[in-house]
Structure 1
């Protein structure tokens, strides 16, 4: 009986649906294209790929780059068709994302606060990563050109970028309303209503924070 009393009551499905829709519309209103993604199912993925390497963290469609939309009507339609879906936002047109280990994100946020530096939206993506949303350094008006960077990260090369990842043209990240495979929700630390900073404005602090975390891990201070 005591265990039953301690259990959290299940949220009303309509409340959950409305909250998810509100979080997605906040993103869409800012011109960030989104599209449906797979969602975690147990220890696996809702897609039909055996041994999916990124369960619940990839788009449903292979045509996600052209499918991603900022149309509220289309997004509402997807929410109706895919009530359990996660959602990703395609980077490199309306925004970029600097993606760092969670510990590095904590260090960088503390530095920004100490120095009084205003930064833009920041999201927690599961227990391991923090996402810093920035203006894009690409040239969205010209589909044949974009700003090149050795830190550019594409979805299929995430394992090669355990430290700082720069999501620009051809990449995507989960957005709040999504469920990380760990079971934790993707959530805002700083909301999407904040202005997007130039990525170079935050890059140095994130690079230094990643170096600090890497050095500490090498010394065995952090696991």
Structure 2
């Protein structure tokens, strides 16, 4: 990633360099083979933690395995339009899918048991360090993509998709409205009606999705993470003039 000199403005508000996350976390090779070799056990662990899963497309070279010409989200979408009802934590069903579709990625449907706060990779790494240093409980965290500006960090939390007070529901459409993106730049909140890839997953270009913190960590309330994540995203959005604030990180449907 380089030393970051001159890349960001407002560096006086950043944490000291020596307190950053270990460099292995930021620069480790993007080889997903170790996770791929444990694919089925990792999927079962995610389901065992309550994350409902369903099969998804997978990369074929730089294309998608689906039959859609020019697929806009290659290897990042479910294979069935019925993914919301198909998603399950049933161990036997997931084993059948994993063994019968050995190349398939899997998505987890959000808003049932869990939500996902989805942020730019570097902003997320800064926020993760700050949260851990403050002793705030952080649940499972996954890294998606690479370090070339498209990487994302996914914070898995308990769901707020069906609160008693519907006025509290913050829908995943948040990431589609420019007027809200100015207030919450770079942040996508996946809840009811959305999904994300669950590790291990493969993306075009030898990229992937893998766990930074596994599904054995309890799901926190998203509001305990939101302020730190929003602050980190706002600072990184100001630093990176090329950040596309309006492009959704994950599609809402096929």
User: In angstroms, what is the RMSD of aligned CA positions?
Assistant: 2.8
Alignment of 1:77-92 (within 5 A): 77-92=96-111
Which of 190, 198, 214 does residue 191 from structure 1 map onto? 214
**Displacement of 1:56:** 0.1
Q: Decide whether aligned partners of structure 1 residues 211 and 154 sit closer, same or farther in structure 2, where only a CA change above 3 A counts.
A: closer
Alignment of 1:41-120 (within 5 A): 41-120=60-139
Aligned residues: 202
Alpha-carbon separation, structure 1, partners of 2:50 and 2:98: 18
Secondary structure in structure 2 of the residue aligned to 1:179: strand
Moved over 6 A (4+): 158-162
Q: In the alignment, is the contact (CA less than 8 A) between 1:154 and 1:170 conserved in 2?
A: no
Query: Is 2:225 the partner of 1:202?
Result: yes
Q: Decide whether aligned partners of structure 1 residues 146 and 88 sit closer, same or farther in structure 2, where only a CA change above 3 A counts.
A: farther
Query: Is 2:162 the partner of 1:148?
Result: no
Secondary structure in structure 1 of the residue aligned to 2:203: coil
**Displacement of 1:114:** 2.6
Partner of 1:173: 196
Which of 49, 64, 74 does residue 30 from structure 1 map onto? 49
**Displacement of 1:16:** 4.6
- Greater shift, 46-55 or 78-87, is seen at 78-87
Q: Deviations over 1:150-169 (max 9, x none)?
A: 6x2489x5999771000001
- Greater shift, 131-140 or 48-57, is seen at 131-140
Partner of 1:21: 40
**Displacement of 1:110:** 1.8
Q: Deviations over 1:76-106 (max 9, x none)?
A: 1111221100000000011000000001101
Q: In the alignment, is the contact (CA less than 8 A) between 1:105 and 1:209 conserved in 2?
A: yes
Q: Decide whether aligned partners of structure 1 residues 59 and 154 sit closer, same or farther in structure 2, where only a CA change above 3 A counts.
A: farther
Task: Name stretches of at least 5 consecutive residues in structure 2 with no aligned partner.
Answer: 1-32, 244-254
Query: Is 2:183 the partner of 1:164?
Result: no
Secondary structure in structure 1 of the residue aligned to 2:212: strand
TM-score if structure 1 supplies the norm length? 0.82
